[in-house]
Amino acid sequence: MTLKFENCYAKLGDRFSVAMGPDPLSNPKAVITNAALLKSLRLDNYSHDDLLGLFSGHQIPKSASPLAMVYAGHQFGGYSPQLGDGRGVLIGQVRDTENKLIDLHLKGAGKTPFSRMGDGRAVLRSCIREFLASEALFHLGIPTTRALAITTGDEQVRRETIENASLLMRASDSHIRFGSFEYFSYTDQHTELKQLCDYTIETHFPELKNSDKPYDALLFAASEKTGNLIAHWQAFGFAHGVMNTDNMSIIGQTFDYGPYGFMENYDPYYICNHSDDQGRYAFNRQPEMGRWNCQALSQALAPLTTPDVLEKALNCYEETFLSCYHGLMTKKLGFSTSKPEDKALYEDLLDLLEGYGIDYTIFFRSLSQYCAGKDFHSLLSNQNSAVSFAPWFDRYNKRLQMDILSETDRHKQMCSTNPKFILRNYLAQKAIQNSEAGDHSELHRLYDILKSPYNEQLDQEQYAQETPDWGQNLQISCSS
């Protein structure tokens, strides 16, 4: 395989990673491949056997420089001084068709020096969940890493049950985490901390290179991107589940999918990770945890930044989050411009959705077809809520009259903002169960639907319906 790698991260040296290749899967079999991403990475001209060799760890190009990255992180608030890639290997970095440098990372690649007590493997269900979720978020317009391919094999590993080891090839602009900076800061490797910051600026924020205070500027940029990311999570009802600093991307992408979940019936206290006994990463706490993580990053960068930067960075995060979230929510309501008083309108709506247990995604999609001043009862799954909703619709209709969008343009904007299809946990579970039995057709079908979340797809209506009773309380953990 003649794929050309650049390996800029590997050139940082052995303080930043351990050079090592993946442990290949035995008897590998392809599960699913992202054809569009293959093309953008110039991989579409390689044979099936070549790609299977790459994605299963059997055929690593000579120009690659595979490695396991070192980092630390705050996990559920407690600091772990050394974590690192315990089951993943950064194969190397390639240029896509837009000349952007992209990491190719093989998740489940076997034991590394950072595996601790783990076996270094991923399993099919965790690979499928990350593949579907990362691609679902990408097509919704939410910043995220992406999934390139899943491969499974004959090797068996023990989780709650015996499962087959599998690999996920992930593509991302960066695998640098908040915890990467914490590791070098708290081990007093300040030369390496500066080296990592310089690399991050050069590679991901080149516009900051000529700044008078480049490390302050890096912190502001990371805080801004994090605020933007979490605003998108909140507006689309997405819960990450494990917002530890080692799972937070320095470039503001959704990263390290584990026990995530799209909220179904609106519940601000929704906890998608059944291991999160205290609700630290509940849906309504994500903005607060984003701020907490930016504070942790600020403290890690303190050896290089100015003394007053912390407060400014946190203000940057908060202002970005509030502005972005407000803009997204007013757009979801169909307004061409946002007004400060719109905040009360969507907050009161959310209270109503919570009070009556109404599906968040379905309601907003139905609202996208609403004709101003007309009867609203058909939008409500719970007709007992109509009396409570009536005053809100009176306010909403008055606000619509103040907007310049025609009804046709409003419907178009709302349908491009409020998805019809999201990745509900029960849909992912059905695809996983079929794939574990050797039938990947449901996985491929669901993936195709999630690539067009704003389209009607009339032949796939069942995938846009409310979650059945059996799928309401599926429990997802960090186990992979």
**pLDDT value of residue 262:** 96
417 pLDDT band, cuts 50/70/90, is very high
Instruction: List, in order, residues 6 or more apart from 347 with CB less than 8 Å away.
Output: none
pLDDT beyond 60 at 466: yes
**Which residue, 152, 133, 166, is CA-closest to 447?**
133
**pLDDT value of residue 118:** 82
Residue-wise pLDDT for 358-369, tens only, equals: 999 999 999 999
Q: Three-class SS of residue 69?
A: strand
pLDDT beyond 70 at 397: yes
**pLDDT value of residue 426:** 95
Alpha-carbon gap, residue 422 to 325, rounded angstroms: 19
Beta strands 88-95; 29-33: pairing state: unpaired
pLDDT beyond 50 at 480: no
Q: Is residue 286 part of a domain?
A: no
**pLDDT value of residue 159:** 85
Residue-wise pLDDT for 59-70, tens only, equals: 999 999 999 999
Structural domains of the chain, count: 2
**pLDDT value of residue 477:** 61
Q: Three-class SS of residue 105?
A: strand
What pTM did the predictor assign? 0.96
When pLDDT is averaged across residues 373-397 and rounded to a whole number, the result is 93
> Where on the phi/psi map is residue 457: left (φ > 0), alpha (ψ -120 to 50), or beta?
left
- Asked whether 253 and 172 are in contact (CB, 8 A), the reply is yes
N-term to C-term CA, the chain: 30
Q: Is residue 200 part of a domain?
A: no
pLDDT beyond 90 at 136: yes
Alpha-carbon gap, residue 226 to 251, rounded angstroms: 8
**pLDDT value of residue 479:** 52
Q: Is residue 24 part of a domain?
A: yes
pLDDT beyond 80 at 476: no
Residue-wise pLDDT for 23-58, tens only, equals: 999 999 999 999 999 999 999 999 999 999 999 999
Active site residues: 246
Give me 129's structure tokens: 């969940």
Q: Is residue 365 part of a domain?
A: yes
Distance from chain centroid for Cα 450? 14
When pLDDT is averaged across residues 117-133 and rounded to a whole number, the result is 93
Domain boundary among 172, 205, 225: 172
Q: Is residue 71 part of a domain?
A: yes
When pLDDT is averaged across residues 137-144 and rounded to a whole number, the result is 98
When pLDDT is averaged across residues 240-265 and rounded to a whole number, the result is 96
Q: Is residue 244 part of a domain?
A: no
Question: Between the CA atoms of 150, 156, 157 and 160, what dihedral angle is there, to the nearest 10 degrees?
Answer: 90
pLDDT beyond 70 at 475: no
Q: What is the mean pLDDT of the chain?
A: 95
471 pLDDT band, cuts 50/70/90, is confident
Helix 360-367 × helix 407-415 angle, to 10° = 160
Using alpha carbons only, what angle is made at residue 347 by residues 345 and 350, rounded to the nearest 5 degrees? 110
Beta strand ranges found along 120-161 (DSSP E): 122-123, 146-158
**Containing structural domain, residue 385:** 335-415
Alpha-carbon gap, residue 358 to 291, rounded angstroms: 29
Question: Between the CA atoms of 397, 398, 402 and 408, what dihedral angle is there, to the nearest 10 degrees?
Answer: 10
Q: Is residue 252 part of a domain?
A: no
Domain boundary among 139, 172, 205: 172
- Asked whether 314 and 298 are in contact (CB, 8 A), the reply is yes
Q: Is residue 157 part of a domain?
A: yes
- Asked whether 139 and 147 are in contact (CB, 8 A), the reply is no
Distances (CA, A) of 304 to 200, 312, 314, 374: 14, 15, 17, 59
**Which residue, 350, 338, 342, 331, is CA-closest to 412?**
331
Distances (CA, A) of 156 to 124, 162, 187: 11, 6, 37
When pLDDT is averaged across residues 117-126 and rounded to a whole number, the result is 91
When pLDDT is averaged across residues 326-335 and rounded to a whole number, the result is 97
Asked which of 1-5, 246-250, 333-337, 430-434 is least confident by mean pLDDT, the reply is 1-5
When pLDDT is averaged across residues 376-389 and rounded to a whole number, the result is 91
When pLDDT is averaged across residues 3-13 and rounded to a whole number, the result is 93
Domain boundary among 172, 206, 230: 172
Residue-wise pLDDT for 177-199, tens only, equals: 999 999 999 999 999 999 999 99
**pLDDT value of residue 116:** 84
Percent of the chain with pLDDT over 70: 99
